[in-house]
Amino acid sequence: MRNTTESMLDPGAAAYRCVLPAGEPWIREIRQDDVLRIVDLEGNQTADALFYNSHDYRDSYSAQDTIRAQRNIYPTTGTRLMSAENHVLLTVVADTCGQHDTLGGACATESNMVRYALDKRHMHACRQNFLKALMDWGHGMSKRDIASNISFFRNVAVTPEGGFSLEEAIYAPGKYVELRAEMDLLVLISNCPQLNNSCNEHNPTPIEILIWNGRSN
């Protein structure tokens, strides 16, 4: 059963709010105790995300440590997103989907070619978004800083034998996930541009990003 939890926060009181078009990256620092909400505005969209300790970018989100700490492959309400140095980066405090993916990773030009067709290699992908955002951010960050990401709103099935497959999306418009920062963070989001997979009906759509300042909550 999916563990869904509604938020008590008022969107009208958010300190920051923007709509991120499909296929675009977003990067921003948030402070400890800030609350970040990602909203799937039209349903069946994927938001791939990376998180970094603002004081040491080498200490970034770790899919392996998050799974180990929770003993659960599906992040949801109460999940602590862990770093490579075993720090708690964020806690999921509200979630109206109840299940997200931390196994499948982000789409790339190489995977587009292998998974779909040779002529798909030129198509835009989330790893390109990650790299562009990090290069624009500067501070010495590069391709080496792109670790395994978490994919919000993506439905991945895992078999008892360890196989997994990307399933049809099941999330309705307006679903969201909300996370509290447990330290100062750099947040990087790619609103997935994938056009080849039927999970989003071949139609990438916008997401909304909101931030509440923790010291005023």
pLDDT for residue 210 is more than 60: yes
Give residue limits of the domains in the chain.
20-216
pLDDT above 70 coverage of the chain, percent: 80
Between 166 and 32, where is the model more confident?
32
- Residues with Cβ < 8 Å from 48, sequence gap 6 or more? 106, 126, 129, 130, 149, 150, 151, 152, 189, 190, 192
Is 191:47 a contact under the CB 8 Å cutoff? yes
Q: How far is CA 135 from each of CA 139, 140, 213, rounded to the nearest angstrom?
A: 8, 8, 27
**DSSP codes, 41-62:** SSSS--EEEEEEETTEEEEEB-
Residue written as tokens 């563990």? 3
pLDDT at 4: 87
Mean pLDDT of 178-188: 98
What are the tokens at 63? 């899919």
pLDDT at 114: 43
Q: What is the pLDDT of residues 149-158, one digit of tens each?
A: 999 998 776 7
Cα 65 vs. chain centroid, distance in angstroms? 16
Mean pLDDT of 117-125: 50
